[in-house]
Amino acid sequence: MKRIPFSSKLALVSALVGAGVLGPAACAGRSAPSSSSPMAAATAPDSVVKPPLAGILPHPAFAYAQAGGTAASIADIAEKAAPSVVNVASSRTVKNVRERMPFFLDDPFFRNFMGPGGGRQQEQEQKHQEHGLGSGVLVSTDGLVLTNNHVVDGADEIKVTTADKREFSAKVLGTDSKSDVAVLKLQGDTSGLKPIEFADSSRLRLGDVVLAIGDPFGVGETITMGIVSAKGRANVGIAAYEDFIQTDAAINPGNSGGALVDMEGRLVGINTAILSRSGGNMGIGFAIPSNMAQPIMKALIDHGKVVRGWLGVGIQDIDQDLASAMKLGSVKGILVSDVSDTGPAAKAGLKSGDVVMKLNGREVDSTGMFRNAIAAAGANQTVKLDIVRDGKPMTVDAKLGELPEKLGTPGAAEEEGAPSSLSGLSLGELTPDVRSKVELPSSVKSGVVVMGIDPGSPAAASGLRPGDVVTEVNRAPVEGVAKFKAQYSSAKDKVLLKVVREARTLFLVVKK
């Protein structure tokens, strides 16, 4: 299980649920009838064990859940799903290189006679085995297993143990590091395997009860229960493409690749990571939704890789300061900060500063959602974008390309030169030497480079960094430090800057 350290953006919140808050029907997202209501007795299924006294919950709470219109014990749901979850044990050879030295040279007396190098000989390569434990989910009768990429990454040998204690060797059919998904194929007689049924993860609601099944710490198959705490978690830093289900069901190291199931025993997610200070469960776990994992799995089986759609734009979320500075009217949609000269977006007519409101008729509420949707659409597909440009609504059709395997991410460097200070900013001219050091794209013809920033200044608060190249002030081009100073000084309360950073473009707002 991947462990994510706490950051300033994430906080740990404890919650207490008192007895009597949730009854059996509440587990299914339905209202439980009052015991005094005439409907209570009439609608209670015969299979439900009634509490001895009205208003008293069965013990333990959550013992029953509505599944498919009939009451089912959570134990029955767990019994249905558990045989589909497997243990995945991997081993990999790790090479270490160390210097080889004659045994007598361990004595400093002898080494003194050997001159420079002390008699050291060539480096010697040593190997040792590393072992890892994780979980996986059976998804077909012929032995296909869905798990996490990080569970099997770099493995030389993979052993899978099923719930009925059968052991199989497994072959990797395909992996996708960008989503942390992998597909394995069991070798040998796979008769009698019990694959899990997929559910539509988009139908999950906050508060729905879920079970997490896996092999934490290698102690054996374990089932824990919690609720769906959040959906659509992105920018967590686990994978390149994120749309996680967050749950408080106990997930620990070893649960990676295991199943998150709904109250009908169907797969809604693949448990992937935890947010933890200690390495153990602290109530914040993340799972890849089944609706995201399933098409990735199919692509890996069919093609051995995932072909994602590519629009060729830089995008960023819109906050109130940015909306005000750009006179957008609201924070809805996402901002196109940059457009690749040769990408599909440029061919479709998209421009930097456009605001995307809808994708194929669906409202766009975050960059994570938009990025995932473009990728999932696939190459050579045409998407319809509803945008706002300079306050005017427009519709653009764009034919997507294939996402390049590696997009350039050159790093910014600190610059040398004679800076000019302005409101906590030290700026320099965009000389050929500076352009080379920051690896500035040839499409950027003019601007100024940020040489330094005073801590606590408005510029620092805006998110500007040394090495950033400012190309626009309030949507007007910057043609040197003198021009920048004039543009900055003439602005009133807020200054909208267009910035190029590490081969990508973004907008920032500096409050004067």
Structural domain containing residue 192: 44-100+123-306
Residues ≥6 apart with Cβ < 8 Å to 486: none
Domain boundary among the residues 278, 306, 334 is at 306
Residues 235 and 231: their CA atoms lie apart, in Å, by: 13
CA neighbor of 504 nearest in space, from 316, 309, 235: 316
Within a domain: 387: yes
Q: Is 59 a catalytic residue?
A: no
Q: Which long-range contacts (CB under 8 A, 24 or more apart) does 372-378 make?
A: 372/234, 372/241, 372/242, 372/243, 372/292, 374/308, 374/309, 374/310, 374/311, 374/400, 375/241, 375/308, 375/309, 375/310, 375/403, 376/292, 376/295, 376/308, 376/309, 377/309, 378/307, 378/308, 378/309
Within a domain: 94: yes
Residues ≥6 apart with Cβ < 8 Å to 33: 25, 39, 40, 43
CA neighbor of 281 nearest in space, from 256, 244, 250: 250
Q: Does residue 128 sit in the same domain as residue 273? A: yes
Contact 174, 182 (CB under 8 A): yes
CA neighbor of 56 nearest in space, from 82, 33, 23, 81: 23
Among 176, 180, 208, 215, which one carries the catalytic annotation? Answer: 180
pLDDT of residue 408: 34
pLDDT of residue 14: 27
* CATH number of the domain to which 356 belongs: 2.30.42.10
Q: Does residue 298 sit in the same domain as residue 324? A: no
Beta bridge partners of 511: 494
CA neighbor of 449 nearest in space, from 499, 504, 510: 499
Within a domain: 133: yes
Q: Does residue 439 sit in the same domain as residue 465? A: yes
Q: Does residue 130 sit in the same domain as residue 268? A: yes
Beta bridge partners of 510: 495
Residues ≥6 apart with Cβ < 8 Å to 79: none
Among 90, 150, 340, 468, which one carries the catalytic annotation? Answer: 150
How do strand 392-399 and strand 355-359 relate by DSSP bridges?
unpaired
Contact 59, 109 (CB under 8 A): no
Q: Is 256 a catalytic residue?
A: yes
Domain boundary among the residues 256, 286, 306 is at 306
Query: Cα–Cα distances in Å, from 254 out to 1, 78, 169, 205?
Result: 5, 19, 19, 26
Residue 362 tokens read as: 């669906």
Within a domain: 142: yes
Contact 89, 161 (CB under 8 A): yes
Q: Does residue 296 sit in the same domain as residue 317? A: no
| pTM higher than 0.85 | no
Rounded to an integer, what is the distance from CA 18 to the centroid of its chain? 33
Cis status of the peptide bond prior to 404, with omega within 30 of 0: no
3-state secondary structure at position 126: strand
* CATH number of the domain to which 192 belongs: 2.40.10.120
Contact 3, 279 (CB under 8 A): yes
Within a domain: 9: no
Q: Is 319 a catalytic residue?
A: no
Query: Cα–Cα distances in Å, from 215 out to 134, 262, 319, 405?
Result: 7, 18, 42, 33
Within a domain: 19: no
Q: Does residue 281 sit in the same domain as residue 342? A: no
Contact 270, 86 (CB under 8 A): no
Q: Does residue 336 sit in the same domain as residue 376? A: yes
Q: Read off the DSSP letter of residue 437.
A: H
Within a domain: 143: yes
Contact 272, 244 (CB under 8 A): yes
User: pLDDT per residue over 383-401, tens digit each?
Assistant: 999 999 988 999 999 999 9
Residues ≥6 apart with Cβ < 8 Å to 297: 139, 144, 146, 181, 183
Among 179, 256, 276, 352, which one carries the catalytic annotation? Answer: 256
133 φ, ψ (degrees, to nearest 5): -125, 140
Q: Does residue 438 sit in the same domain as residue 381? A: no
Within a domain: 176: yes
Domain boundary among the residues 306, 331, 365 is at 306
> Per the structure, how many domains does the chain have?
3
Q: Does residue 158 sit in the same domain as residue 268? A: yes
Q: Does residue 213 sit in the same domain as residue 316? A: no
The secondary structure of 226-249 as a DSSP string is EEEEEEEE--SSS-SS--EEEE-S
Length of the chain, in residues = 512
SS3 content of the chain, % helix, strand, coil (to 5): 20, 35, 45
Residue 328 tokens read as: 């957008």
Q: Does residue 313 sit in the same domain as residue 301? A: no
Residues 79 and 6: their CA atoms lie apart, in Å, by: 35
Q: Does residue 387 sit in the same domain as residue 507? A: no
Core vs surface per residue 33-70: b (16+ CB within 10 A) or e: beeeeeeeeeeeeeebeeeeeeeebbeebbebbbbeee
- Ranges of the chain with pLDDT below 50: 5-62, 67, 103-105, 109-114, 408-421
